[in-house]
């Protein structure tokens, strides 16, 4: 009733009485929120996928390492474990960082990486991790991977809110590990 009175009273100009442009205005107000939500969903899904791929790579490296002779562990065998992880990561499409050479020893090795933005990449292999299961002590192989993450949501937020600190609040790496009892 009030709407009819406002439209018919002549109080508002004819252009304001029409609702023809309201959908465009509503979309213009809602679009930034929709863009941020969609980019956020895509970002978190890609990081979740990255985490799963790294979990599998660490598990494959630990499985291979656990099957090797502990007494004969040297940098060559450690490099073989690194190659297993590297091959899995390559086959999974994680080609941003390539596993470098091993350093350390005799049971604990660290691998660096080569590639753009891979300063935070780290692959660690420890072949003599003590594990107690049901009161029995075992030695296990533990493979830990730390991989850099590039978030898009922080950049998108900066477009809409220049003072946003979201990018600095997000983690810059994803880390995972796998531990498997040594067979030999």
Tokens, residue 39: 């980019």
Find the domain containing 121 and state its range: 23-181
How many angstroms from the chain centroid is the CA of residue 132?
31
Q: What is residue 125's predicted lDDT score, i.e. its pLDDT?
A: 92
Determine, yes or no, domain membership for 9: no
Determine, yes or no, domain membership for 18: no
User: Taken in order 83, 84, 90, 94, is the CA torsion positive or negative?
Assistant: negative
The whole-angstrom separation of Cα 77 and Cα 61 is 11
The whole-angstrom separation of Cα 144 and Cα 8 is 73
| Domains contained in the chain, number | 1
Determine, yes or no, domain membership for 14: no
Determine, yes or no, domain membership for 15: no
Q: What is residue 7's predicted lDDT score, i.e. its pLDDT?
A: 55
Give CA angle at 140 (134, 144), nearest 5°.
120
Determine, yes or no, domain membership for 128: yes
**Better-predicted residue by pLDDT, 94 or 57:** 57
Strands (DSSP E) found in the chain: 98-104, 108-114, 122-133, 136-148, 173-181
Determine, yes or no, domain membership for 42: yes
- Look at residue 72 and tell me whether its pLDDT is greater than 80: no
Residues 161/162/163/164 CA torsion (nearest 10 deg) = 50
pTM for the complete prediction? 0.79
Question: Which whole-number Å values give the CA distances from 105 to 74, 128, 140, in the listed order?
Answer: 7, 11, 16
Determine, yes or no, domain membership for 7: no
Q: What is residue 144's predicted lDDT score, i.e. its pLDDT?
A: 96
Q: What is residue 15's predicted lDDT score, i.e. its pLDDT?
A: 57
Tokens, residue 9: 């009273």
**Mean of the per-residue pLDDT values for the chain?**
85
- For 171, which DSSP code? -
Determine, yes or no, domain membership for 16: no
The whole-angstrom separation of Cα 135 and Cα 174 is 32
The whole-angstrom separation of Cα 18 and Cα 15 is 6
């Amino acid at each position: 009733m009030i709407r009819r009175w406002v439209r018919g009273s002549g109080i508002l100009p004819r252009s304001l009485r029409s609702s023809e442009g309201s959908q465009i205005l509503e979309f213009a107000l809602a679009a930034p929120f929709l863009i941020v939500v969609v980019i956020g969903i895509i970002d978190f899904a890609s990081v979740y996928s990255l985490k799963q791929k790294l979990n599998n790579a660490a598990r494959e490296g630990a499985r291979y390492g656990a099957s090797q002779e502990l007494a004969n562990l040297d940098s060559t065998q450690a490099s073989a474990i690194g190659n297993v992880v590297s091959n899995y990561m390559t086959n999974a499409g994680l080609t941003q960082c390539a596993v470098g050479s091993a350093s350390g020893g005799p049971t604990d090795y660290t691998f660096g990486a080569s590639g753009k933005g891979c300063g935070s990449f780290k692959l660690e292999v420890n072949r003599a991790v003590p594990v107690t299961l049901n009161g029995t002590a075992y030695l296990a192989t533990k493979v830990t991977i730390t991989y850099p993450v590039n978030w898009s949501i922080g950049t998108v937020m900066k477009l809409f809110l220049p003072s946003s600190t979201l990018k600095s609040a997000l983690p810059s790496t994803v880390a995972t590990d796998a531990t498997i009892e040594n067979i030999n």
